[in-house]
Structure 1
Amino acid sequence: MSLPQFYELPFNSRPDLTPFLLHFTKNTNAEDGFSSYENLVNILEEGEIWASDTKKGFIKGRIKATCFMDVPFASLKYVLTPENADPQKPRYEPYGLAVTKRYAYKHKCRPVLYLSKAELVVSVKVV
């Protein structure tokens, strides 16, 4: 049995699936003086999204990473909440990019695992 092709996936018939990945910018004013809007403009002008590393606490390994969400547009109301846009501790704001999963995979985007510190394996052999 072969796996379905990308165009065969049921994105239009399943409300929990989307052919897009979303990257939202946030207010980094405390760190570098930029609003989430200014961070989006920088991404568009430079053509690059800066990856996070272990210094911010989100990344646990040696490789820097950038977050893209696999969230249908209709579900964004659960993500873009006032709590997530709190200026004192911003998480997500309504500025960002949408790319197709096909484009993302061609440019080396891959899913990640979210693990607690207790679950983190210090040394992983990649085959």
Structure 2
Amino acid sequence: MSTTVASTFAALGDPVRRTIVDRLAESDATVGELVALFDISFQAVSQHVAVLERATLVSRHRVGRTRRVRLEPQPLDEALTWMESRRQRLEERYRRLDAVLADMADDAGPDTTARPDTTPLPDTMGRPGRASTATSTKETKK
């Protein structure tokens, strides 16, 4: 796994940062606008944005006198590519397993289904030791 993908997953491991990414997917925002989404301090949101910035998921840019935070698509694209390649490999494994299971079913013949065991369960009240002890105690008292 590349460093970029690892840092993307690490940064997205926090629910606050995922919410920030969700919000920035709609449009750029100031840190102050992001603070309005949470019940945490400006400083805390700013630190979360800094983590996202170090992971290159967001960048800051000036618009007039304000600094806006922008979502950067490249790290998300790289993470998606990494996940997609793993998904394809997993699907290939399942296809191979399906083929093996189909071959096994063909080799075993038509009657390969397991049948449930219909053997009756033993009477739990007549467990060894209990019934005989009770009987022998009654017989001793007579």
The answer to whether TM tops 0.5 is: no
| TM-score normalised by L of structure 1 | 0.23
Q: Larger radius of gyration, structure 1 or 2?
A: 2
The answer to which structure, 1 or 2, has the higher relative contact order (CA under 8 A, 6+ apart) is 1
